[in-house]
Amino acid sequence: MSRSGARRGRAAVGVALSALMLATLGACGALGGEDTSKASGGEGGLEKTKIKVALLPVVDLAPLRLAQEGGYFKAEGLEVEAVDAPSGQQAMTKMIGGEVDIAFSTYMPFFVAKSKGAADIRLVADSVSASPKSNAVVTVPTSPVKTINDLAGKKIAITDKNTASHLLTVSVMKDHGVDTSKVQWVPMALPNIAAALSSGQVDAGYLPEPFLTQASKVVGATPVVDISTGATQDFPLAGFGALGSFVDKNPKTLAAFQRALGKAVRDSADRSKIEPLIVKYAKVDAETASLLTLPTFGSTLDARRLQRVPDLLLQTGVITAKLDAAPMLAPQAG
């Protein structure tokens, strides 16, 4: 080949490579930003590209809603179908029954089910921990309860016995040396507690956000004690669980779910991104969404921190034998 022929050949190869690079960049741009699915093997690499997750209409799920509506799951090659559930217990029941792949719940039902041998429960991602002023036992001006010492022997509204609302209230009362043995625990739905306080049906009640802010606005409720104090400071409240069979068969799918959720948690630091989603999914007005105290969002599980939950269940007699949290944790994508 002549020198001029070789130059023409090298030029043609250069043009072809440039065209390939432009095509690749164009494909990334079409996804609207970072394409993590290719780096993670998500382009056809996921064992399951569509999963069902049982969810509740709560503030705690703002990062997951951001991951849905912001395309974070899609960027991982994953489609997440939300399945509504009225409570964490029922979300877990849907998971055990095979109706969904992953369930959101407070941690306590997961550990209780594991302790009873009801299912091979694995915890796959964190959701929220108690932050200061996000969960509290509250009272109203007409109540005889003025301080935490007044709670002994009174009527206290909770969602149910052996739930987070019950056991965390017991824990903070014991921290302050307040007798819990004669308390009248009154189970009721969270939206009804403010009215029950106002009418005198109960003397105090456990409320998380957004019910805490709503009760303050509507009936003048004020905190008796912040739950995120003492033994329950920064307490792990809720997360995502799955069956061991799903975790073992779908490691890449699970890692994609965890990565998308982790990015959404980081982006949730910008409150303007999640307040509209709280209004939409947690069914609160925009003013309340702007005023409420957010919980501490998380995504990566830590066995030592999570051990506090089964330890509290054991201390309060809900479970009768020590339960180790570490073997229940699915591998974490980080």
Given a cut of 50, whether residue 161 has pLDDT beyond it is yes
pLDDT digits (tens, 9 = 90+) for 164-191: 999 999 999 999 999 999 999 999 999 9
Given a cut of 80, whether residue 10 has pLDDT beyond it is no
Q: What is the pLDDT of residue 283?
A: 87
Tell me the CA distances in angstroms from 73 to 34, 81, 159, 253, 313, one per residue in order: 12, 11, 32, 10, 34
The DSSP bridge partners found for residue 137 are 206, 225
Using pLDDT thresholds of 50, 70 and 90, give the confidence band for residue 42: very low
pTM for the predicted model, two decimal places: 0.84
- Region 266-270 average pLDDT: 97
Mean of per-residue pLDDT scores for the chain: 89
- Region 30-42 average pLDDT: 41
Q: What is the pLDDT of residue 334?
A: 62
Q: Could you give the angle at the alpha carbon of 169 between the alpha carbons of 231 and 241, nearest 5°?
A: 75
Using pLDDT thresholds of 50, 70 and 90, give the confidence band for residue 44: low
- Region 151-159 average pLDDT: 97
